[in-house]
Amino acid sequence: MFGTYLVRELSNRRKQTVIIAIGMALAIALVIIVNAVSAGVKNAQASVLESIYGVGTDITISQPAAAPGEGDMAGPRFEFGADDGTTTDGTTEISQSRLMSGFGSSTFDASALDTVLGVENVAAATATLSLTNTSFSGELPDFSQMQGGTDGGGDVMQAPPTGGADGAGGSAFDVNSFTVEGVDVAGTAVGPLTAATLTDGRAFTADDAGTNVVILDESYATSAELAVGDTTDIGGAEFEVIGIVSSTSADATTASNTYIPLDTAQALADLDGQVSTIYVQASSAVAIAQVQSDLEEALPDSTVNTQADLASSVSGSLSTAGDLISSLGTWLSVIVLAAAFLIAILFTISGVARRTREFGTLKAIGWTNGRIVGQVAGESLVQGAIGGVIGVAVGLVGVLIVNLVAPTLSAGAATTSAAGPGGGPGGGFVGGPMAEQASATTEVALQAPITLPIILIAVGLAIVGGLLAGAIGGWRAARLRPAEALRSVA
């Protein structure tokens, strides 16, 4: 009886059923698409962070950068003596390389690693030293070459020196820089190299401690035209390339251009016993909050960040997409869903008002209030379910289109790098490049995942909307008295 009556009523009110189903379907489809894209953005952020901080890194510890003092130089000093360089044909070629902690970053005592390892639920930890290698090379005119002559008073005239880059006493300088990461050659459980895959050569071994060996990022090796077995200058010392790595994520680069043993990096940069970052892996996901709290207490002068905190450092259009989804997308979904519910409720109430005589007759022949409420709620529930099924289908198609288009977003996390040449000859030194905060930008293809919980939530929302509309409409129908209902249509 219930089913037969329900099918008949839905067939007689096809227009109402179609409108309610379409409104619910659009709302459900939007909820599915927004949630899928939001999950895709979070996955992309995690991919970028893993490429920089390492797979399995739950917490990073760093030291806030100290404000530069008055007169401090924001860059390396390149000092040259009078006899430095090689002079040929009136031109002196000079070159120097410096390895130092980047401007805006700070180092701290490596003993903090022992403190970290002593904290409860810390599964693994390793320390690294982030540096920037800046190389200065250029050509200067030979100031020792003077062309003599006398003026009218018998004094010797001195003409400008010849030589230089333009052959007329000019100069030409090149300033190049790349990032260097000093890593513990024995610490393989956590850290930036855990997000890298060896593509050529070999990885570090315990025997590499204190030696001049280097592993290169694949992109940097290609641009610098370096291969396994070649040598390269880092901090004025020759390093042998023993391996090349690439990021485990196809859409991201590794954390640094080059990787060298930690103790070697400390010695070359004159930072013995100093580190810049400690990477921590907690024993479980539920222990991260406790580990962070204990680390903040044990190292009050340090900055302790979790992956959630570090996600805010992801910049570029990926960050913009994340902000858009978290604000506009979420609120738009809520508004559209509320509108769909409201439409369902209003149409159900309107339908009840048009069925006054019908419900009055049903009550007159013995239908109880509960049965009438159940009948109206059942009709609305079916209308909501139809909308939910259509909405899920439309939402899946929308997500499929997003994945086929695979929009490319730029992403990066703040790092310290040197940029821009500066200074010039004079005073026995050359002012190096100004270091600044920059981002290692990479391109990330957005992929929106579909999970069963999202689909179940969408169907659940459609059912809730139908039940809500049916409950309100049924309550309105149950309030009708048989005599008044029949009198109102007499």
For 49-73, what is each residue's pLDDT tens digit? 666 666 678 888 988 866 555 555 4
Return d(Cα 314, Cα 364) in angstroms, integer. 67
Q: Which residue has the tokens 């190096």?
A: 432
pTM of the model: 0.58
Compute the mean pLDDT over every residue in the chain, rounded to the nearest whole number: 75
Return d(Cα 412, Cα 441) in angstroms, integer. 4
* 90-94, 235-239, 275-279, 333-337: the lowest-pLDDT one: 90-94
Return d(Cα 350, Cα 134) in angstroms, integer. 76
3-state secondary structure of 222: helix
* CA distances, 108 to each of 88, 129, 218, 277, 345 (Å): 45, 10, 30, 9, 63
Average pLDDT score over residue span 287-313: 85
CB 162 within 8 A of CB 218: no
CB 353 within 8 A of CB 376: no
CB 187 within 8 A of CB 57: no
How many Cβ atoms are within 10 Å of 419's Cβ, its own excluded? 15
Give the pLDDT score at 433.
35
Q: How far is CA 242 from the centre of its chain?
A: 30
Give the pLDDT score at 462.
82
Higher pLDDT pick, 334 / 478: 334
pLDDT at position 261 over 90? yes
Helix 14-53 × helix 2-12 angle, to 10°: 90
Q: What is the pLDDT confidence band of residue 438, given thresholds at 50, 70 and 90?
A: very low
